[in-house]
């Protein structure tokens, strides 16, 4: 269970670094169910996470992507994940600006 708490804390820190204060703030105050909580409690937690993502990043919409488009998105997000991991161990002048650029939705 500690691993899950650490994962959530890592997401909060990443959101803070990326300038996504809304996500970070909402995750910070949302209590994580106890390890022995009922499946209903965990479902409520999952639903609350979905609401945060829907509200803050406009996720949850039915897009109707083709299989090829989904594969392309998976490749894109995998590449972004690798870039974020590289950024964590690199020496750069403005880590927050780079991270915000990587995690922000495309403009235009």
What is the predicted pLDDT for the residue at 1? 58
Q: What is the largest CA-CA distance in the chain?
A: 46
What is the predicted pLDDT for the residue at 91? 81
Q: Are 24 and 16 in contact (CB under 8 A)?
A: yes
SS3 state at 16:
helix
Assess whether 42 and 77 both reside in one domain.
Answer: no
What is the predicted pLDDT for the residue at 35? 84
pTM: 0.55
Mean pLDDT per 10-residue segment, the chain (108 residues)? 81 87 93 91 94 85 88 89 83 80 70
Assess whether 69 and 38 both reside in one domain.
Answer: no
What is the predicted pLDDT for the residue at 42? 93
Assess whether 8 and 51 both reside in one domain.
Answer: yes
Assess whether 83 and 45 both reside in one domain.
Answer: no
What is the predicted pLDDT for the residue at 90? 81
Q: Give residues with Cβ within 8 angstroms of 63, minimum separation 6.
A: none
What does the alpha-carbon distance between residue 62 and residue 17 come to, in Å, rounded to a whole number?
29
């Amino acid at each position: 269970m500690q691993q899950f708490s650490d994962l959530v804390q890592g997401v909060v820190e990443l959101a803070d670094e990326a300038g996504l204060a809304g996500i970070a703030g909402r995750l910070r105050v949302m209590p994580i169910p106890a390890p022995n909580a009922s499946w209903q409690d965990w479902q409520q937690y999952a639903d609350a996470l979905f609401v945060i993502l829907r509200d803050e990043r406009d996720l949850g919409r039915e897009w109707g992507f083709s299989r090829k488009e989904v594969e392309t998105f998976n490749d894109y997000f995998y590449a972004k994940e690798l870039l974020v991991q590289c950024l964590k161990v690199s020496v750069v002048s403005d880590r927050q600006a780079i991270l915000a650029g990587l995690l922000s939705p495309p403009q235009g």
